[in-house]
Chains A and B, each alone.
Chain A
């Protein structure tokens, strides 16, 4: 197991309630894990435990253990963990601070003390894979939203992490930007074999691409399984305030009326099922 979370509970200093309660979770190498939950359910808090920001930089009451590639995060520095786990946040603007695209990607690498040749190689690779080749000398604030977020991903990728944790990376982007970032995530998982942990409100995407999905509610994992299993629980998801894909909401209505057997259908599957029913 690449990640093992054991009986993890966390309470922010001065907070009354625990943000995470007794979480147990394993993530396999190469797996694509989706995390769902309403705002305040603990998604972001959980993401911050994978590279040690919790408990090292953000203080609070931390119980249980998180192991990343065998390292106990409590006993391992954030700098060390960052070479294994890359973290990408919601707002790309808050993650970019260099004058050019190239410097942005090189920044983390220089801090690793790599030789210039290796830095160049990794930088070229990261920019190519994120589709940012040709923009090396651009001023990051001048990029589009999708480009900025891909640059944030490129900077993290250049560190060659085995795991990429993305916390709502598309929520600030326009539809084109969302599509660019999500296709990139798919590519990194399927072609580069990078383990993905993704918090995403675009649940259509998780339904079609995630290997496994967990649902958090008030700091606890309350559903876990393949997307096809989790999205069958439409009533639970709706009650929790989770966005359910339109195709699933429609299928759910037909399932309630005994017309369809399954609710967890993506757009294509739903259209095909309904087409045979209305015979067009």
Chain B
């Protein structure tokens, strides 16, 4: 479990980024949402020790991040940044994914096994010899996830994992996230894509101006008036509300429910 306890973060000489935020993450898909500048990324960077609390504590599986190095923590908490194109530096996809496991000092066999598994998980099998820079946006995003998977961290933070991706790439990234959750990982999605939240998340934490203003189930979350937080309901939920269909998470649920009413 990751526990964030009364976390404050104040950037040097700047405004307060986080004010007394507490939350936990277990084996679940948690969406951390809020408009730009609400503190989402600042919070997430505390989970693998990239930032240290100004006040309060972050405990990762019993380890206080104040007493651990980023290197240690990053074996437990993987962080996939937005716009991953800036993080690649190897000449091919295989080497890029193998880089992390190599640094862990794993055997050649184990490294190959992990790279193979990670690439298969994100549907990039067969791309081993390609240059990371020759990949499309969706492929780069999936490569960034594969690099993290190869480290086999228990928790995975994904910052806007589907931003800028077309529907097909977004779908395969979502599939990877669901699979990881089933395998026992804890996932934190940082996003303001409300459609992604609706489809994927189980629990939602809403930050607004550095304060946690909501922590609850996906169903409860979408009962909030999101316009107050510079967010908006997904189109599907708007349509569903106008037709009194109630809470649905995808098109199929909506269609099934409406067809039932038409027959009645």
Interface residues of A (CB under 8 A from B): 15, 37-40, 90-91, 144-146, 168, 171-177, 179, 201, 204, 238, 240-247, 249-250, 253-254, 257, 259, 267, 270-271, 274-275, 277-278, 280
Instruction: Establish whether residues A267 and B235, one from each chain, have CB atoms under 8 Å apart when the complex forms.
Output: yes
A39-B164, A250-B255, A280-B244 are known contacts; what are 20 more A-B pairs with Cβ within 8 Å? A37-B166, A38-B136, A38-B166, A38-B167, A39-B169, A40-B138, A174-B192, A174-B230, A175-B35, A177-B36, A241-B167, A242-B166, A244-B167, A245-B235, A250-B239, A253-B255, A254-B255, A271-B242, A271-B243, A274-B258
Question: Which of the residues A241, A270, A271 comes within 8 Å of B166, measured between beta carbons?
Answer: A241
**9 pairs of residues in contact across A and B, judged by CB atoms under 8 Å:** A39-B138, A144-B36, A174-B192, A241-B168, A246-B234, A246-B251, A247-B239, A254-B255, A278-B258
Question: Which of the residues A39, A146, A270 comes within 8 Å of B239, measured between beta carbons?
Answer: A270
Cβ of A15: which chain B residues have Cβ within 8 Å of it? 134
B144 to chain A, nearest CB (A): 14
Question: Which of the residues A168, A253, A278 comes within 8 Å of B262, measured between beta carbons?
Answer: A278
For chain B residues 242-264, which have a beta carbon within 8 Å of chain A?
A: 242-244, 251, 254-255, 258-259, 261-262
Once bound together, how far apart are the Cα atoms of A201 and B163, in whole Å?
10
Once bound together, how far apart are the Cα atoms of A204 and B194, in whole Å?
15
Q: Is B10 an interface residue (CB 8 A)?
A: no
Once bound together, how far apart are the Cα atoms of A177 and B37, in whole Å?
12
Query: Which 4 residue pairs across A and B have the least CB separation, nearest first?
Result: A241-B168, A40-B136, A38-B166, A176-B230
Given A144-B36, A271-B242, the answer on whether A249 and B251 have CB atoms closer than 8 Å is yes
Instruction: Establish whether residues B239 and A171, one from each chain, have CB atoms under 8 Å apart when the complex forms.
Output: no
Q: Is B17 an interface residue (CB 8 A)?
A: no
- Residue in A91, A174, A204, A245 with the greatest tally of chain B CB atoms within 10 Å: A174
Instruction: Establish whether residues A238 and B239, one from each chain, have CB atoms under 8 Å apart when the complex forms.
Output: no
Instruction: Establish whether residues A246 and B236, one from each chain, have CB atoms under 8 Å apart when the complex forms.
Output: yes
Cβ of A277: which chain B residues have Cβ within 8 Å of it? 262
Once bound together, how far apart are the Cα atoms of A97 and B123, in whole Å?
38
Once bound together, how far apart are the Cα atoms of A253 and B239, in whole Å?
15
Instruction: Establish whether residues A247 and B164, one from each chain, have CB atoms under 8 Å apart when the complex forms.
Output: no
Cβ of B261: which chain A residues have Cβ within 8 Å of it? 278
Look across to chain B and name the residue whose beta carbon is closest to the beta carbon of A176. B230
Cβ of A40: which chain B residues have Cβ within 8 Å of it? 136-139
Cβ of B231: which chain A residues have Cβ within 8 Å of it? 174-176
Q: Is B83 an interface residue (CB 8 A)?
A: yes
Cβ of B192: which chain A residues have Cβ within 8 Å of it? 174-175
Question: Which of the residues B37, B138, B243 comes within 8 Å of A274, measured between beta carbons?
Answer: B243
A250 to chain B, nearest CB (A): 6
Look across to chain A and name the residue whose beta carbon is closest to the beta carbon of B141. A39
For chain B residues 136-170, which have a beta carbon within 8 Å of chain A?
A: 136-139, 163-170
Instruction: Establish whether residues A171 and B164, one from each chain, have CB atoms under 8 Å apart when the complex forms.
Output: yes
How many interface residues does chain B have, given as a range?
A: 35 or more
Q: Is B238 an interface residue (CB 8 A)?
A: yes
Look across to chain B and name the residue whose beta carbon is closest to the beta carbon of A15. B134
Cβ of B195: which chain A residues have Cβ within 8 Å of it? 246
Look across to chain B and name the residue whose beta carbon is closest to the beta carbon of A245. B235
For chain B residues 215-241, which have a beta carbon within 8 Å of chain A?
A: 230-232, 234-236, 238-239
Question: Which of the residues A90, A241, A242, A267 comes within 8 Å of B238, measured between beta carbons?
Answer: A267
Look across to chain B and name the residue whose beta carbon is closest to the beta carbon of A253. B255
Cβ of A270: which chain B residues have Cβ within 8 Å of it? 239
Given A172-B163, A201-B166, A259-B262, the answer on whether A246 and B255 have CB atoms closer than 8 Å is no
Cβ of B165: which chain A residues have Cβ within 8 Å of it? 39
Look across to chain A and name the residue whose beta carbon is closest to the beta carbon of B232. A175
The proximity string for B residues 185-203 relative to A, scoring 1 for CB distances below 8 Å and 0 otherwise, is 0000000101100000000
Once bound together, how far apart are the Cα atoms of A272 and B244, in whole Å?
13
B209 to chain A, nearest CB (A): 12
- Residue in A39, A259, A271 with the greatest tally of chain B CB atoms within 10 Å: A39
Cβ of A168: which chain B residues have Cβ within 8 Å of it? 164
Once bound together, how far apart are the Cα atoms of A201 and B232, in whole Å?
17
Question: Which of the residues A37, A240, A241, A246 comes within 8 Å of B235, measured between beta carbons?
Answer: A246
Instruction: Establish whether residues A204 and B235, one from each chain, have CB atoms under 8 Å apart when the complex forms.
Output: yes
Cβ of B251: which chain A residues have Cβ within 8 Å of it? 246, 249-250, 253
